[in-house]
Amino acid sequence: MDRRSRMPPKKRAKRDDDDGEVLLARPAQPSARSGPSRRRTAQMEEDDETILPTASTSTASNPPPPTIIPKRKRTAGVLAEDDGETMPPSGPAPDLPLPKVSDSWATTATTEPTEKFDPKKRTRPQGASVAMEKTRPHFDKAQNYILGGFAHPHLGKRCKCNADPAATIYRCEDCFKSPLYCKQCIVLAHEHNPFHRIQIWQGKFFSRISLRSLDQVIQTCLDELGANGRCKEVSDASAKSSEMILGDHNGFHDVKVDACGCVGDRGSRAPELWEQLMLVGLFPASFNSPKTVFTWRVMKQFHIHCLASKKSAYDYVKALCKLTDNAFATQIKDRYREFQFAYRIWRYLALERRTGQATAHGIDPHVPHRNAGSLTVRCPACPEVGFNITEETMKAALETEQHKFTLALSVDGNFKLQRKNKRDDPNDVALNAGAGYFVETEEYKRYVKLVKPTEDLGTCLHLRAARMQNIAKFKNAVVSGVIAVQCARHGFYLPQGMVDLKKGEGFANTDYALVHYLGWEAIDATPRMENGKFMSVFQTNFKNGPPTHADAYAKLLQAELDSEAETTENRTGDSGLITNALLVERDQQHVKRLIAQQTAADIVRAARGRLFKEIGDLRTRLVARVPGLEIHVMNIDPDPEKPEKEALYLPSHFTKTMQGELKLQALAQVEYALREGQAFDALAELRNAIQALNYNLTIKKTEIHGVGKLTKAQNYLRTLSNDIQIAADTYRRARRALLHLGLDENNATLQELRKEDMFGKSGLRPAMGHSKRVDSWFWTTGRGANLTDEQEAEWEQEMDRVKWFRDRALRDRAVEEEETLEEEFKRAILWFAKTELIWEKMGDDAEEAGAKAYAYKQAAMFHKLGGDCAKAYADAPGLAAQDRMQDEAKEAAECAEADRLEAERIAKNGGVEEDFSAYYETIEIFPKGT
C-alpha cells in the first residue's frame, strides 16, 4: 500500500501540490509504475465500419449511479471492454463481478485524493454525452433501416423496360436509390459509369457481379459509336478487346477495353492504346502494353490522402483490395507495384503542371530571377527580390526598417527520414533531378566525397553521444536523415534546400543546403568581440557587483576551457548540463503557472509534452555523466500527464552523504555557483518588480480616473504583482537548493524571504509614515557596505538603466513584429497578383485548348487567394479591436470581482489599510511548498 494513501485527505492533497522535489537519503526502490507507460484505444472492427466506444453520461437532475465495468485483460490483441469505462445502466447487468455502488457516483479504489463530485462540472450542456443520450433510443430503428438495405423493396416488380420480374434482379451499389434493372438496362445505364459496383439477387441475398460478366466493353472512342456499340472505324473482324485490371476509388475491376480506330485531325495515325486511355481519363501503369490502369479519380484521391493523412501507397492499395472484397481481400491480385510506378509519374506530372513547368506553358521566361526548371512553391510573404519586392526598396530602407525586409531562415534535421541499405535498382534516377527541394544528386555526392569525416568529437559529453548513434541508431542506414532549410516565419521549404545525411548531422551537409540556396557570399562566420568580451546593454556593468547567473556560467565555462585534463569528478560540459537543468526547472514552473491560471487545455497539453521530452533528455545526460544516478532515475517512471511535478535529480536533491557516494561533489560545486547567481538575479528582478508596481500605483492614484481606465489599471497592477511573486518564488527555490548544497542557514546575504518582507519605498511618492518604515534586507543585498549618497544614487541608476533597456527592447520587438506582419501582407498580395498575371499570359499564349483552360483556372485560383489575403489584411484592425473589446470585458469582470473581494477585506479591517505590504497581495500562482 502506498504510504501516501494512509495520509489524511488534507495532508495528502497538500503533498500532491508540491513541485516534485525529493531529498533522497537512500536509493529508491523500483516502483510498481516502472517501465514504459502505454495507452490503448479500444477499437471494434466490423465489416463496413470502425466504432470507437464513447463514455455516456446521464443528464437527468437525479442521475442514476453508473455501472463501473472493471478492467478486463486483453487476449490476443482483442479488448473485451474498455479499461474502466463508465457506462449508464441499460438492460440486464453483464455477468461480471460488479463493485457495490451507493446513491452517489461510484469510484474505484485509488491512492490519489478524490475530488468531490460536482454535477455542474460533469458535462458540457451540449457535449457529446448529451447528444449521444438523445440519439441512443433511435439505434434499433436505425439498425433496421441498415438491414433493410441488404434487400430491395421492389423485388418481384418489372423493370422500367417492362422486362419480366424474374429478370429484374440487378442493382448498383453506387447509384443513388439503387433502382432494380434487368441485365440489358443496367448495362445501358452504366455506359458512362462503367466502374460502379453491380449486385445480383441470388434468391436469398444480393452478391456482387462485374459489368464485364454482363458483356460490357469499355470504348475509348470519343465519337459516336456504330450500331454494334463500337468505333465505326474498327471492323468486326479485326476488333479485339484488351483485358485489363482497373483501379478506381471503390476497388479493383476486371474490364474489357476496345481501342479506337479513328485517325487524328490531320489524317495522322490513330493514337496508341496508352494515349487513348489517357483521353478517357485512365492512367496506364505501362506505356508499352498496358494491362493495369487507374482512373484519374483514384490518383487524385490518393494524392490528397497521402498529403493530408500521410497514408502510404501500400496501405492505400490494401484498402482498395478490401473495398473489392472485404472478406477475401488476400485473394485479390496485388497491384501495389503497378500503382506505385503509376503514381510516381502522376505526382511528378502534377508538380510540373502546377508550377508552370509543363511544356505547354513554360513559366521560366516570366520569372528569370528563379532557377530554370524549378518545381518548387515559393513563399508569397517572404521577400523575393525581383518579384514581390524590388532591390531598390531594400537598399533604400533605413536601419530601423531592415526587419521588414529580412528573410528569416531556419535549418533543422530529421533523423526519422532514414533509408536502409536494401535491394533496389542502382540505375534509378530522380525525376526532379535537382529542380525540386533536394539538391542535385550527383553533384552532392561529389561534394560529400571531398568532405573528410570528423573523427574528433571533442570533449563535450553531449557530442560524444554521436559515436553511439553511429553504432546503433544509424545501423545499416544508407541515408540517416535529412537536413532542410525553410523560411522560419511561414514554414515554406526553400528550393534546393534539402540534403541527405550520412550517419548523423554534419555542418558540411548543412552548409551545402544553405549555400546552395543563398550563395557563398551570404555566409559570414567572422566573430565580433570587443576586447575579448561581449558587451550588452541588457546586463549590469558593476566593477564590484554581486554575482549573477551569467557571470557564474562564464567563469565556469572558462575554467573548463582552461583545464588541461579531465577527471572522474570534474568534466567538461558540467556547467552546460546544470544550466540546462535549471532551464528545465524554469519550464516546470511555467507549466504550473499555466495550470493555475486555467489556461486552455491544448496549450497546457503542448507545454507538458515539451517538458516531458526535456526531462527525458536531461535524465539521459545525467546518467551518462554520473552512472550511479541510474538506480534513482531509471527506476522512476516519469508521468507524462504531470511532468511539472517530476524531480530533476540534481545534486541539491541529495544529502551530503549521498553526494559523496555518487561522486557528485564537482557537479554540486557547479550547481552552487549557478544557483548563487540565480538567487542574486532573482533578488534583482524582485527589486525591479516592486519598483515597477510602486511607480504604477502612484500613477493610478494621481492620474487615472474613470471606471474603464481604473479597470484596466487594476488588471495591469495585478500582473505586476504576479511578477513579484514569480521573482520571490524563484529566489526561494534557489536558496532552498543552496541550503542543500552547503549554504549556512544563517547566511546574512541570502536570507529567508518572507511574505512580509516583499515591499519597498522605491518608486512611491513620499507620504506620512514612510520615513519610519525600513526597506527589507534584499534592497541592500550585493551592494558595498557604507555607501555614500552619491554611490547609492549610482547604484540605483545602473539598475534603472538595465531595466529601461530591457523594457525598450520588448517594446521595439512588438513594434517590429507588427510592422513585419503588415509588410508580409503587402508582399503576399503583390505575389498573388503577379502570379495571376503570369498564368493569364501563359493561357493567352498556349496553343492547346486544355492548356489554355488550365492556365486560366490557375489564374482564377491566384486571383481568389489574393482577394482573400487583401480582405484579411483589411479586416485585421477590426478583428484586433474585437479581441481587445473581449479582453477588456473579461478584465472588467475579473477586476469587478477583485474589487468586491478587496472591499470585503477592507470592511473587515474597519475601512483602514493594515500595512504597506497589502499592495503586494495577489492570487498565488504557485502551490504551497514550491
- Residue 44 has a pLDDT of 34
Which residues in the chain land under pLDDT 70?
1-126, 235-239, 263-269, 452-474, 503-506, 517-553, 555-571, 634-639, 708, 763-773, 782-787, 799, 803, 906, 909-930
- The answer to whether the CB of 792 falls within 8 A of the CB of 804 is no
Q: Are strands 292-295 and 409-414 parallel, antiparallel or unpaired?
A: unpaired
Quote the distance between the C-alpha of residue 474 and its chain's center: 25
Dihedral of alpha carbons 572, 575, 578, 580, sign: negative
* Residues 829 and 869 sit within 8 Å (Cβ to Cβ): yes
Lookup: cell for 803: 531595466
pLDDT of residue 718: 81
Asked if residue 801 lies in contact with residue 326, where contact means CB atoms within 8 angstroms, the answer is: no
Question: Cα separations (Å) of 749 from 109, 730, 741, 783?
Answer: 49, 16, 16, 10
Count other C-beta atoms under 10 Å from residue 650's C-beta. Answer: 25
- Contacts (Cβ under 8 Å, ≥6 apart) of 248: 195, 294, 295, 297, 298
Count the neighbouring beta carbons within 10 Å of the beta carbon of residue 761: 18
Reported residue count of the chain is 930
By the 8 A CB rule, do 283 and 342 touch? yes
With cell 571531398, the residue in question is 450
Q: How far is CA 259 from its chain centroid?
A: 51
Rg (CA), the chain: 37
Q: Measuring CA to CA, how many Å separate 746 from each of 399, 735, 743, 752?
A: 53, 12, 9, 9
In this structure, how many other beta carbons lie within 10 angstroms of the beta carbon of residue 75?
8
* Residue where the block lists cell 487476449: 75
Give 159-209 pLDDT, tens digit per residue.
999 999 999 999 999 999 999 999 999 999 999 999 999 999 999 999 999
Distance CA 247, CA 294 (A): 5
Q: For residue 255, which of 225, 318, 213, 286 has the smallest C-alpha distance?
A: 213
In sequence order, what are the residues at sequence separation of 6 or more whose Cβ sits closer than 8 angstroms to the Cβ of residue 395?
none
Tell me the C-alpha distance between 180 and 172, whole Å.
Answer: 8
Contact 256, 218 (CB under 8 A): yes
Q: Which residue has the cell 492556365?
A: 855
Hey, what amino acid is at 252?
A: F
Give me 149's grid cell: 438495405
pLDDT of residue 148: 94
pLDDT at 571: 66
Sheet (strand 242-248) strand order: 218-219, 251-258, 242-248, 292-295, 282-284
SS3 of 205-258: the string is CEEEECCHHHCCCEECCCCCCCCCCCCCCCCCCCCCCEEEEEEECCEEEEEEEE
At residue 90, the pLDDT reads: 37
Count other C-beta atoms under 10 Å from residue 141's C-beta. 8
Residue 811, SS3 per DSSP: helix
Residues 6+ apart with CB under 8 A from 394: 383, 385, 405
Planar angle of CA 143, 145, 146, nearest 5 degrees = 65
Beta-bridged to residue 181, according to DSSP, are 170
How confident is the model at residue 76, as a pLDDT? 36
pLDDT given at position 622:
86
Type and span of the H or E element at 172:
strand 170-172
Closest CA to 626 of 585, 659, 656: 659
**Domain range annotation of the chain:** 217-354, 408-522, 555-702+712-779, 798-920
C-alpha cell read off for 293 = 490502369
Q: 683, exposed or middle or buried, with CB in 10 Å at 0-12, 13-18, 19+?
A: buried
Residue type, 2: D
What DSSP character marks residue 366?
G
CA distance 349 to 303: 12
Residue 591 burial by CB count (10 A; 0-12/13-18/19+): exposed, middle or buried? buried
| Angstrom distance (rounded) from CA 854 to CA 383 | 28
Strand-pairing partners, residue 409, are 487
Instruction: Please list, in sequence order, all residues whose beta carbon lies within 8 angstroms of the beta carbon of residue 635, skipping any fewer than 6 positions away.
Output: 28, 29, 30, 31, 34
C-alpha cell, 649 = 535529480
Cβ(443)–Cβ(382) under 8 Å? Answer: no
Q: What residue ranges in 296-380 does DSSP mark as E strands? A: none
Tell which phi-psi region holds residue 810, choosing left (phi > 0), alpha (psi between -120 and 50) or beta.
alpha
Using an 8 Å Cβ cutoff, are 834 and 421 in contact?
A: no
How is residue 316 written as a grid cell? 492505400
Q: Residue 524: what pLDDT?
A: 40
Backbone angles phi, psi at 101, to 5 degrees: -115, 155
Q: What is the pLDDT of residue 765?
A: 64
Distance of CA 833 to the CA centre of its chain: 31
In angstroms, what CA-CA distances link 784 with 552, 674, 789, 791, 795?
19, 22, 12, 9, 10
Cα dihedral across residues 901, 902, 908, 914: positive or negative = positive
**Whole-structure pTM value:** 0.61
At residue 252, the 3 state secondary structure works out as: strand
Written as one string, the DSSP assignment of 58-109 is --SSSPPPPEEPPP---BTTB-SS-TT-EE---SSPPSS-PPP--SS-----
Residue 635: the pLDDT is 57
Position 763 scores a pLDDT of 63
d(CA 130, CA 149): 29
The H or E element that residue 23 is part of is: none
Place of cell 568580451: 533
